Amino acid sequence: MPQQKIIYLDNNATTPVDDRVLNTMLPYFTDFYANSTGTHLAGLTVKEAVENAAWQTADLINADADEIIFTSGATEGINLAIKGLANQDRKHIVTIQTEHKAVLETCRFMQSIGFEVTYLPTASDGLLDIQLLKEITTDKTLVFIGMFSNNETGVMQNISEISKILKTRNVLFMCDATQAVGKIPIDVKALGIDFLAMSAHKFYGPKGVGALYISAKAKIKLSPQILGGGQQRKLRSGTLNVPGIIGLGKAAEIALKEQQEDQKRIEVLRNKLEKGLLQFKGSFVNGNTENRIYNTSNICFPSVNSEQMILALGNISVSNGASCSAVTSKPSHVLKAMGLSDEDALSSIRFSLGRFTTSKEIDIAVERVLSLAKEFATKTQRH
Active-site residue list: 324
- Classified as helix, coil or strand, 124 is coil
Determine the 3-state secondary structure of 10 from DSSP: strand
SS3 (DSSP) at 296? strand
CA dist 354 and 48 (Å) reads 31
Burial label for 109, CB within 10 Å (0-12, 13-18, 19+), is middle
- 210 and 179 in contact (C-beta within 8 Å)? no
Cβ–Cβ < 8 Å for 147, 103: yes
Q: Report the greatest alpha carbon distance in the chain.
A: 74
Tell me the C-alpha to C-alpha distance, in Å, between residue 160 and each of 88, 127, 137, 193, 279.
25, 14, 16, 9, 36
The amino acid present at 266, given as its one-letter code, is: I
Residues in Cβ contact with 310 at an 8 Å cutoff, skipping those fewer than 6 apart:
318, 319, 320, 349
Residue of 133, 128, 96 lying closest to 291 (CA atoms): 128
Give the span between the Cα atoms of 22 and 250, in whole angstroms: 9
Question: How many angstroms separate the CA atoms of 113 and 138, rounded?
Answer: 20
One-letter identity of residue 27: P
Residue 337 CB neighbour total at 10 angstroms:
18
In angstroms, the Cα distances linking 171 to 35, 116, 134, 320 are 39, 15, 11, 35
What type of residue is 81?
Answer: A
Burial 27-37 (b: 16+ CB within 10 A, else e): ebeeebebebe
Strands across the sheet containing 284-285: 284-285, 296-300, 348-352
